[in-house]
Copies of this chain bind each other. A is one copy, B any other.
Amino acid sequence: MRVAIVGATGYGGVELIRLLRQHRQVTEISVFSSSQAEESLTLTYPHLQDVYKGVLQTIDTKVLASAYDVVFLSAPPGVAATLASGLLEGSAAIVDLSGDFRIKEARIYEEWYGQKAAPADLRKQAVYGLSEWNDEEIRTAKLIANPGCYPTAILLGLAPAVKQGAVNMNSLIIDAKTGTTGAGKNPSAVTHFSEMNESMKIYKVNEHKHTPEIEQLLAEWNKGAGPVTFTPHLVPMSRGIMATMYVESTGGLSHDDWLQLYKDAYESHPFVRVRKNGFPATKEVSGSNYCDIYLDYDARTNRVTIVSVIDNLVKGAAGQAIQNANIMNGYKVTEGLDFIPVYP
């Protein structure tokens, strides 16, 4: 598998390199950048010295489309929408890590993203790459819209219950917490160490772009789906997402039934671990492609608290992108991703 990464200077791009390095089918990794072409990637990331020697190349869709088997687009918003048509003319499979192709309806995209939606045919063609639930479509896809970090944790946490019709679809409240790498590589006042350290923040309350992405999938899974409340928080750590989800049970299921529902749903999926001995911490999946889930049914309130944790840069970005490339190429789904979490 010859691989190209467009936008390799961001955290998603550099994480792709880290993971693809262990992938036995990968024979080549090339990196592309619009702004830093001709530069060695080690100027930006000295930790790659002597390990990854690629030089950033100018983006050329023809080259990308023909010389590579998989092209990962890890560029800022809007770039993938511009490049995709050209890329699709070639033979390469495309996995886009931005939000350009995730939202099916242009109106909704434009409302939440505040910018022009990608061309309709591209949005239509793109398959939403939630690996565990869309593997059929992913297998034959040419263009993958890789899920956002929050939606990955949240949708994996909600899917079994929502598909089963076990929850009141108007009751969904999602309180999510992320480490700072989710905010990207560019320094800002919000993620300035002196002010982020020893602090907990909340942001984009009721207006985060991942909201329509979550709602779109829920609506596909369950006709009764209403709007969700989704609240992102920033935690003083670099990696990790914990999504704490509150849902009202439609009744009948005991705590053990709930747990069994989840165990059954993910039994054959190696990267989703329904926990046996209690709730997971984010560090327990750090550096790995796992999504760990546990839940508690509370008879007092008839609510279920579902918790799911991921490493936002792995299962929430680069890891799931590779997982999708594996599925598209017919490789073992765990190929190149079979890491034990880095703990502690």
Contacts and interface: CB of A to CB of B under 8 A. Distances in A.
Interface string A2-30: 00000000010010011001100000000
Nearest to A19: B340
Contacts of A21: 338-340
A11 B194 contact: yes
Given A18-B340, A175-B175, A195-B344, A240 B300 contact: no
A287 to B, nearest CB: 5
Interface string A41-74: 0110111111110000000000000000000000
Interface string A193-210: 111111111110110000
Contacts of A48: 340
Contact of A193 (B192, B276, B340): B192
Contacts of A340: 17-18, 21, 47-48, 51-52
A232 to B, nearest CB: 10
A307 B233 CA distance: 11
A242 B200 contact: yes
Interface of A, secondary structure class, is loop
Contact of A235 (B181, B185, B200, B203): B200
Interface string A274-306: 011111111111110000100010101101010
A234 to B, nearest CB: 8
Given A240-B198, A340-B48, A229 B280 contact: no
9 contacts: A22-B338, A46-B284, A50-B273, A187-B188, A200-B282, A201-B282, A206-B305, A227-B300, A235-B235
Q: Which 3 A-B pairs have the closest CB atoms?
A: A199-B283, A47-B284, A187-B187
